[in-house]
Amino acid sequence: MPRGPSRRALLAALPVAGLPALPRIARAAWPERPIRIIVTFPGGTQTDILTRLYSAQLSQRLGQPVVIDNRGGGQGQIGIRAALSAPADGHTLVMVGVSTGASAPHMIKDLSYDPRRDLVPISMIAEAPYLFACDPRLPVHSLPELIAYAKARPGQLNFGHGAPSRQIVGLLMARQAGIEVVDVAYRGQPEALNDTISGRLSFTISDLGDALVQAREGRVRALAVSTATRSALAPEIPPVADTLPGFSMSVWFMLAGAAGTPPEVVRRLNGELATILADPELRARLAPQGLEVRSLEPARLAEFLADEIENWGRVVRTLGITPQ
């Protein structure tokens, strides 16, 4: 009597039948090890604090540790290069903001990367105003008073900044106000804020959250926010636009990966972050840092980045800033 296929033959055939499922299994393996998020500024900066606030929930949802890797210096270039030198497999990500994503192409000569070519936007995270804060020993209590004080002392006042975008904001205000001030670059914004507190700087353009704490303790004096209207997080502080109509600048934060990051990884991260950023508890924790969640359709992210690069470039050209 003819015999049917042996048990060994049936077992040998099983992997062949299962082959179509292998690609799905491979994709589902991500993340297979800890995720590293590179922050291009030192610890204690607004970018660093924001990343640490949302990364805990991201770790829980992905089932892997999320490690924050601070790579400050080089106006953000060191951190971006570190992200681009890692495999584009979704295990190394980078926080990108106005300075590294939009103003750097116009401010840094021979920039070592191109945000549009080398980065894949994954998710918008948050945005915030900049805060103009001055040395409380100065005899000024508002932006109009600072402008009048500077006009009477051309070239004698200085301001500090820890990133190219803040330099642009400060110079744009000075240009529109018709004042002459000296700008001083710092490795990070905390150093610039500390030197404003100590009186080495006349004023600084700082993160809203950090400087607001110092202002409410009387260590600096808050003069104005950079957005077109008052911030819900500090409604007592007027916008620059009240003094210089039309002035509107803000800082935004985006999570990105290196070009070539698998689309399914980008979609997974975007979806997880959308859930995380909708959490009212997280939003409440962001508020004291001057941060508000900013959401954007995934299809709009690359367009947004390109638009911002063009917008900041237009301002740089107006100011006549030469890349350094």
| Phi and psi torsions of 142, nearest 5° | -155, 165
Burial profile 91-105: b = 16 or more Cβ within 10 angstroms, e = fewer: bbbbbbbbbbbbbbb
* Residue 28 counted as domain residue: no
- Please give the structure tokens belonging to residue 273: 């972050």
CA 112 to chain centre: 18
* Residue 283 counted as domain residue: yes
CA pair distance 99, 205, nearest whole angstrom: 13
189 and 152 fall within a common domain: yes
121 and 172 fall within a common domain: no
279 and 208 fall within a common domain: no
Residue 72 has a pLDDT of 87
Q: Where are the alpha helices (DSSP H) in the chain?
A: 7-18, 22-28, 46-62, 77-85, 98, 104-107, 115-118, 143-151, 164-177, 189-198, 208-216, 263-277, 280-286, 301-319
93 and 152 fall within a common domain: no
187 and 147 fall within a common domain: yes
This prediction has a pTM of 0.81
Residue 190 has a pLDDT of 86
3-state secondary structure 217-242: CCCCEEEEECCCCCCCCCCCCCEHHH
In this prediction, residues 303-310 reach a mean pLDDT of 95
Q: Quickly state the pLDDT bin for 46 (edges 50, 70, 90).
A: confident
Split into its structural domains, the chain has a count of: 2
* Residue 54 counted as domain residue: yes
174 and 259 fall within a common domain: no
State which residues form the domain around 272: 34-127+251-319
40 and 100 fall within a common domain: yes
pLDDT of residue 235 exceeding 50, the answer is: yes
286 and 143 fall within a common domain: no
CA pair distance 288, 304, nearest whole angstrom: 26
Q: Quickly state the pLDDT bin for 25 (edges 50, 70, 90).
A: very low
Provide the 10 A C-beta neighbour count for residue 145.
15
Nearest CA to 320 among 146, 174, 162, 113? Answer: 174
* Residue 173 counted as domain residue: yes
Residue 77 has a pLDDT of 93
* Residue 76 counted as domain residue: yes
* Residue 267 counted as domain residue: yes
269 and 168 fall within a common domain: no
- Domain end: 242, 275, 295, which one? 242
Percent of the chain residues topping a pLDDT of 90: 76
CA pair distance 33, 227, nearest whole angstrom: 40
* Residue 7 counted as domain residue: no
Give just the sign of the alpha carbon dihedral 185, 191, 196, 199: negative
237 and 257 fall within a common domain: no
Q: Summarize pLDDT for 215-228 with one digit per residue, the tens.
A: 999 999 999 999 99
192 and 109 fall within a common domain: no
- Please give the structure tokens belonging to residue 152: 């009477």
Q: Summarize pLDDT for 74-113 with one digit per residue, the tens.
A: 889 999 999 999 999 999 999 999 999 999 999 999 999 9
The domain that holds 279 is classified in CATH as 3.40.190.150
* Residue 172 counted as domain residue: yes
pLDDT of residue 122 exceeding 90, the answer is: yes
- Please give the structure tokens belonging to residue 301: 């992210």
The domain that holds 220 is classified in CATH as 3.40.190.10
53 and 191 fall within a common domain: no
CA pair distance 196, 44, nearest whole angstrom: 17
